[in-house]
Amino acid sequence: MRFSIWPSLGQPWTDVAEVTRHAEATGWDGVFVADHFMDSGAAGPAETPTLEATAALPALAMATERLRLGTLVLGNTYRHPAVLANWAATVDQLSGGRMLFGVGAGWQENEHQQYGIPLPPPGERITRFEEACLVWKGLLRTPVTNVDGEHYQLADAICEPKPVQDPLPLLIGGKGDRMMGVVARHADEWNMWGLADTIAERAAVLDRRCEAIGRDPASIARSAQALVLLTDDRERAETFRAGGAGRPAAIAGTTNDVARAVAAWQAVGLDEVIIPDFTLGKGSRRLDRMDAIIEQVAPDFRG
């Protein structure tokens, strides 16, 4: 099982870089960034200053040599897939083949409203997203791409140079029944927020979608994330888990409690654990908690 860190882009760049450099030096497997222009308001103030993902990730690539670099996830509603394919190929080139291309259909209402970007209803977003998958797979994996879709049209389109990785792995973030069908048809990795029970239920849907099209479900890697609070205060831990800090999944307690959650994830087929740094504290305290996870939890799950 891999263990990756997710530094919030709603903090100063110096902090993002510090977390990433520490992860590189201490044995973490990857670093992920989110693609939003502001907070949704669920977990923090919408006006929180937020760094932009497609600028941040190449900078992290140049500051590291080993970590896998991922996006959770790039929004299709505000990024044209052909332009995004060229960006992803470039990041894979400059990082020496360490890019994980994470994409999603788009969902956050306030950023669309503020910027005047249309947010179609869910059904249309998924249709548009599946067409985008054809664009990405075509441009990143074949010499010439033609797509004649309802939303995207490409004519003898090229994307050069190609990524170092062949193929560049495509991660799709999502959880709905229709999206599970898209994941089955196109993804190399699937991601969602959730603890083991939620992941197991959604994974079963994904497995059925794969079986329906004759694809081996095991050919799709699985990753998940939850907020983590390390504390010896049981009351505080219970409150954190119950509230979820505005997110759909939360783990709280000692490193033993985190290890139990990871074991449950592993039991339902998870390949990668992604830990947001949002609730690990700041400065040296955050780095110490990162060390506790990678030194006291991770070794038992790495084969």
Q: Which of 61-75, 231-245, 269-283 is predicted with the least confidence, judged by mean pLDDT?
A: 231-245
**DSSP secondary-structure letter at 250?**
E
Write the Ramachandran bin of 96: left for phi over 0, alpha for psi from -120 to 50, otherwise beta: left
The pairing of beta strand 227-230 with beta strand 250-253? parallel
The pLDDT score that the predictor gives to residue 42 is: 66
Tokens 């599946």 belong to residue: 130
Q: Check if the beta carbon of residue 262 is closer than 8 Å to that of residue 297.
A: yes
pLDDT (tens digit per residue) in 88-134? 999 999 999 999 999 999 999 999 999 999 999 999 999 999 999 99
As a whole number, the mean pLDDT across the chain is 96
Which residues face 3 on adjacent strands? 273
**Exposure on the CB side of residue 276, measured as CA atoms within 13 A:** 24
pLDDT (tens digit per residue) in 205-236? 999 999 999 999 999 999 999 999 999 999 99
The pLDDT score that the predictor gives to residue 41 is: 74
Q: How far apart are CA 38 and CA 29, in angstroms?
A: 27
Asked if the model's pLDDT at residue 252 lies above 60, the reply is yes
Give the pLDDT mean for 60-64: 98
**DSSP secondary-structure letter at 63?**
T
**DSSP secondary-structure letter at 127?**
H
The pLDDT score that the predictor gives to residue 19 is: 98
Q: Produce one character per residue of 10-49: b if its CB has 16 or more CB atoms within 10 Å, e if not.
A: bbeeebbbbbbbbbbeeebbbbbbbbbbbbeeebbeeeee
What is the amino acid identity at position 235? E
Examine residue 167 and say whether the peptide bond preceding it is cis (omega within 30 degrees of 0).
yes
Q: How far apart are CA 107 and CA 293, in angstroms?
A: 31
pLDDT (tens digit per residue) in 263-289? 999 999 999 999 999 999 999 999 999
Give the pLDDT mean for 163-190: 98
The pLDDT score that the predictor gives to residue 303 is: 73
Examine residue 161 and say whether the peptide bond preceding it is cis (omega within 30 degrees of 0).
yes
Q: What is the CATH number of the domain that holds 177?
A: 3.20.20.30
The pairing of beta strand 30-34 with beta strand 99-104? unpaired
The pLDDT score that the predictor gives to residue 151 is: 97
Q: How far is CA 139 from the centre of its chain?
A: 21
Q: Check if the beta carbon of residue 7 is closer than 8 Å to that of residue 278.
A: no
Domain extent at residue 49 = 2-301
Give the pLDDT mean for 232-252: 85
Q: Check if the beta carbon of residue 24 is closer than 8 Å to that of residue 66.
A: yes
Question: How many domains, the chain?
Answer: 1
